[in-house]
Structure 1
């Protein structure tokens, strides 16, 4: 059995993941340290949470880990960065919070003499309406080191930001051009600069052409790829490859998510790998069934190419682990999850998400055509290569289709920690103070709840879609925090654990309750998440977070909490914590 990596090696792995923009991988790696108390890894965990946008948890851990005691410009500035992010959490920045972060950055600058807190203080002062302070700090950064003596991405990007604050867009552009040529101009570094400039432009407008600065440093785009299945033809493939290769290069795609069906999917994935992009495979259902339905009918060569891409893929995800049930809706569900995953990644990188597609001229009548329609309907940009008439494979017959009704819904399970240990005399109070509150809250969402059921302290509810499930879960979470824990005899702060999933289920008549019930493997998956959810929190699956991301301007945040082992040997799954965005 190999020894775990030293804290130094683990820290290097985390920094490498951050550099390539793999924030989820960075977080998974840093939390693998377990109970090892290493200040450097504690710092990296909080830094990763900050980049993931999980500001509240980052602030809590910053204090819990006592990172301020580490000293040094980076640990000290991290607290100011979290306060800055908190200021931008609402629809409009909080001027009070901006100034709090600004003054903390300025204090750190006076202590450390570093230009990093100085430029952050300058930018925040400019955004908060303190132009004299902004110019003073920015001028100090510019005068600190002559431009020709600067090297390295962050030094040059800091100079560019200072010049932008001073209104010297041409000088800022020259500095950013040099910054992009630095060896450490990685995706992670560029994404932080993009966010800073976006905030500055939003505050002071683009009167001086500052948008052009963003174009210089935008991180590579994130793509969802899809297209028609076809039988191989060397001449056809060569023509399509030339067109798609040009699109991938022009759009600078660095990350991509898609299935690997024969034809368009596999061809696009091969071209992405050829360019050096990071490819993530997302399959709609069990792999053997996917190979049988979507790859093998086009010929054994496609199966070999499928496995070659899979071996080089950055990750393999199953939208659902269920078998293929003979339903086109399963492919549509997988596509929706894939599109949402691409957009989640783009949000983390402050990059643009696009769609790469190869379809026939009348491809709008195909599943891939529906994917294009869905992507564009939610504000996405699709780059479509039109193929000539394609030779389609002879598809195998689908499995026998069940007569039982199926649909795709939001699924909620809840549980109250400590219920089984309540004193018998407290049970009537629990029923009135907890379950009646829960019922009243859910009644407010009655028009979108398809089914509700209880078992003691547990609630199972089925919702029409992901956004309505999210809204109901958070309303329930907030209402049940008002319960009198002392009267119940439970620890202060005890509240419902709530888990959400979105997936296909059966619905049918329950002969015992004489009501419609919902069941299936995805219901079981939702049930397994609730026990690992902390008291008073709402955890959601990756498919739920992805589908929610496809809803456009929704009022929710899904913050990554890691890959977590579910009870009863159900497997290890990435989970997210659901919260409402600040007003």
Structure 2
């Protein structure tokens, strides 16, 4: 925790925090003898500006590795630790070779590579060493893909552009839907190139097939089935009902956010590939569509590749519209009843809610238009309810019911139950959210670093 605190601090304030973290790791290493503790102490002393202490500890690490080949550690971590020690003892060329060999031992252990490379970038900067050589060892990038449904079935230009992007940008993970047209063409090429494809759908695959694939021809349906059988992961983020525009938007936001979250976890970069018809002109169009996704992605100042592809045939089928179905960022906050007056005052400054708040079993349930609004309200409420109070959130589709006899609209739907379920299993002071909420937040803003802390009925839960 001290190490992360130092990284988050202003540059002028980092050295003493790094030194304190180094002392903590050194103390742990004195008890355990583990090279993991000792190399962290060495690196943190280097970042704190204490080169002599850093080099002395790094030499001790090298002696320990050579003297105890049976230390209970994975081959990758032993190799990476040795490389780090070599760097800290003034042997950068040997460090490069050792780190490359460590990565080669476990080439797909990206979650292990990411923190190592982050540490190396910091150390190289502190030592005045170049960092460009680390790019070749970095985990692959993530991709969000989208496009219109009227792409030609045999569009060679789209296929060639996808293959080129995968190669030049080292794409390893991709997130998107699987509608007929561009989605299927892109997904086929990604799978052929060995990319791990995660599909994010607004409803179950069979319903999605009927709505967004079969109406454009039997060949698209065959190809859809082949992609599903090709080892992809399919996530359903809707409410189980036939998809409405709200569910389509949710799936698009979640796919963009999941690409960003994967890149954050691996210390890499998320890009977007979108197939658009130049004749459509500029504009966001309907939320959830390819044009909208392109505009939304570009607003985050992230890189994207737009592939032009003229539409072929008539207009694609549209999801049935239902204005009572809307997206809601659902926030549940543990509140002492004596603080309700203060909570109400804090909410005056927060974004507007979609419906009146509801009180149940010691917690307050609030609904906002999007995760950014809910996160803003959570920040304001934390100052009122205290550090020990628990908060949970989910982003999903709800139904707004105009209940005149109750004097105000009410929200209904299965999404409303998830925040309470998350809250029930949380420790004091935690702020946990569903993966869909975290993805929606990541798609809308930068700076959050959610961490997966568990699952609930198979759904990932993250801490903010």
* Structure-2-length-normalised TM-score: 0.83
Counterpart of 2:122? 199
Give the Cα–Cα distance (whole angstroms) in 1 for the partners of residues 190 and 88 of structure 2.
38
Instruction: Decide whether aligned partners of structure 1 residues 109 and 371 sit closer, same or farther in structure 2, where only a CA change above 3 A counts.
Output: same
Counterpart of 1:344? 261
Counterpart of 1:230? 150
Counterpart of 2:225? 307
Give the Cα–Cα distance (whole angstroms) in 2 for the partners of residues 219 and 195 of structure 1.
11
Counterpart of 2:460? 574
Give SS of 1:512's match.
helix
User: Is 1:553 aligned with 2:439?
Assistant: no
Counterpart of 2:129? 208
Give SS of 1:452's match.
coil
1:197-247, Cα deviation, whole Å (9 max, x unpaired): 233356x28x432x213212111111112222236533x2x4432331121
* Structure-1-length-normalised TM-score: 0.68
1:560-581, Cα deviation, whole Å (9 max, x unpaired): 232213xxxxxx4322233xxx
Give SS of 2:274's match.
strand
Instruction: Decide whether aligned partners of structure 1 residues 536 and 103 sit closer, same or farther in structure 2, where only a CA change above 3 A counts.
Output: closer
Matches within 5 A, 1:462-477: 462-477=367-382
Give SS of 1:449's match.
coil
Matches within 5 A, 1:373-452: 373-387=295-309, 389-392=310-313, 395-396=316-317, 398-399=319-320, 401-402=321-322, 404-414=323-333, 431=337, 433-445=338-350, 447-452=351-356
Counterpart of 2:45? 125
Instruction: Decide whether aligned partners of structure 1 residues 394 and 384 sit closer, same or farther in structure 2, where only a CA change above 3 A counts.
Output: closer
1:361-420, Cα deviation, whole Å (9 max, x unpaired): 346556313212211211221133333x23145534653x44x5554332223466xxxx
Matches within 5 A, 1:326-337: 326-327=244-245, 329-337=246-254
Contact 2:175 / 2:255 at 8 angstroms: preserved in 1?
yes
Contact 1:229 / 1:392 at 8 angstroms: preserved in 2?
no
Counterpart of 2:175? 257
Instruction: Decide whether aligned partners of structure 1 residues 335 and 324 sit closer, same or farther in structure 2, where only a CA change above 3 A counts.
Output: same
Counterpart of 1:489? none
Unmatched 5+ stretches in structure 1: 1-81, 417-429, 483-492, 566-571, 579-583
1:506-532, Cα deviation, whole Å (9 max, x unpaired): 445321232243344433555554545
Give the Cα–Cα distance (whole angstroms) in 2 for the partners of residues 188 and 355 of structure 1.
22
Instruction: Decide whether aligned partners of structure 1 residues 156 and 481 sit closer, same or farther in structure 2, where only a CA change above 3 A counts.
Output: closer
Contact 1:220 / 1:252 at 8 angstroms: preserved in 2?
yes
Instruction: Decide whether aligned partners of structure 1 residues 398 and 406 sit closer, same or farther in structure 2, where only a CA change above 3 A counts.
Output: closer
Instruction: Decide whether aligned partners of structure 1 residues 192 and 396 sit closer, same or farther in structure 2, where only a CA change above 3 A counts.
Output: closer
Matches within 5 A, 1:526-545: 526=419, 529-534=422-427, 536-545=429-438
Matches within 5 A, 1:20-59: none
Q: What is the CA RMSD across the aligned residues, in angstroms? A: 3.5
Contact 2:244 / 2:325 at 8 angstroms: preserved in 1?
no
What is the aligned residue count? 451
Contact 1:564 / 1:573 at 8 angstroms: preserved in 2?
yes
Give the Cα–Cα distance (whole angstroms) in 2 for the partners of residues 510 and 220 of structure 1.
51
Give SS of 2:327's match.
strand
Give the Cα–Cα distance (whole angstroms) in 1 for the partners of residues 38 and 414 of structure 2.
54
Counterpart of 1:273? 191
Contact 1:172 / 1:213 at 8 angstroms: preserved in 2?
no
Residue 203 of structure 2: which of 285, 288, 294 is its match? Answer: 285
Give SS of 1:285's match.
coil
What's the offset of the Cα at 1:344?
Answer: 1.2
Instruction: Decide whether aligned partners of structure 1 residues 508 and 105 sit closer, same or farther in structure 2, where only a CA change above 3 A counts.
Output: closer
Give SS of 1:448's match.
coil
Give the Cα–Cα distance (whole angstroms) in 1 for the partners of residues 357 and 328 of structure 2.
16
Give the Cα–Cα distance (whole angstroms) in 1 for the partners of residues 63 and 298 of structure 2.
47
1:324-350, Cα deviation, whole Å (9 max, x unpaired): 4553x5423311111111111111111
Give the Cα–Cα distance (whole angstroms) in 1 for the partners of residues 54 and 163 of structure 2.
45
Contact 1:153 / 1:185 at 8 angstroms: preserved in 2?
no
Counterpart of 2:358? 454
Give SS of 1:214's match.
helix
Give the Cα–Cα distance (whole angstroms) in 2 for the partners of residues 499 and 143 of structure 1.
47
Unmatched 5+ stretches in structure 2: none
1:415-445, Cα deviation, whole Å (9 max, x unpaired): 66xxxxxxxxxxxxx64x2433332332342
Instruction: Decide whether aligned partners of structure 1 residues 506 and 184 sit closer, same or farther in structure 2, where only a CA change above 3 A counts.
Output: closer
Give the Cα–Cα distance (whole angstroms) in 1 for the partners of residues 178 and 150 of structure 2.
12
